[in-house]
Amino acid sequence: MAGGHPCRLRFSRCRFGKHPPYRDPVLPPYNGLMGPDDKICYCYHVSFRKLYHYALRNKLQKASQLSDCLGAGTGCGWCIPVLKRIHEAVQSGRQGPRIDMTPEEYADARQRYIENKEPKNSFD
Ligand code: FES
């Protein structure tokens, strides 16, 4: 077998005892604030966890490459600042960024962004 351990268990305990149990690197304490399963990109329904793991697995060079994860950031642009923070956290080996808003506040802020036709955020 070429490289790696035969168990191929990435998300549960390795039965050969070679790999430590999987720990989710995404989870900062969030106590009612935006959590790992909350949507970051409302246009394409992409969760925080999905984006974080995509960045982690694919070792992205630029935050804009997160758009390859189900199109995140390619709609209204609201989520781009958060995508940049996720990319930055992954690059520096930290847990996902804590977003100091509840999911409802985040959704409301995005709604206002759309209604007010604010200038579109960009990855630059
Ligand atoms: S919320 Fe992500 S592009 Fe609109």
Measured from the CA of 46, which atom of ligand 1 is nearest? 2
For the chain, domain boundaries: 39-115
pLDDT digit string (tens) for 70-109? 999 999 999 999 999 999 999 988 888 888 999 999 999 9
- Residue 31 confidence (pLDDT) above 70: yes
**83 Cβ below 6 A of ligand 1:** no
- Which amino acid is located at 13 in the chain? R
Question: Which residue, among 33, 35, 64, has the nearest Cα to 49 in the 3D structure?
Answer: 35
Write b or e for each residue in 68-77: b if 16 or more Cβ atoms lie within 10 A of its Cβ, otherwise e: ebbebbbebb
Q: How confident is the model at residue 2 (pLDDT cuts 50, 70, 90)?
A: very low
- Ligand 1 centre and the CA of 83: distance in Å? 10
Cα of 78 vs its chain's centroid, Å: 14
Give the other-Cβ count within 10 Å of 85's Cβ: 16
Q: Indicate the range of 3-7, 65-69, 73-77 predicted with least confidence.
A: 3-7
Pocket test for ligand 1, best of 39, 45, 76 (most atoms within 8 A of CB): 76
Say how far apart CA 24 and CA 19 lie, in whole Å: 14
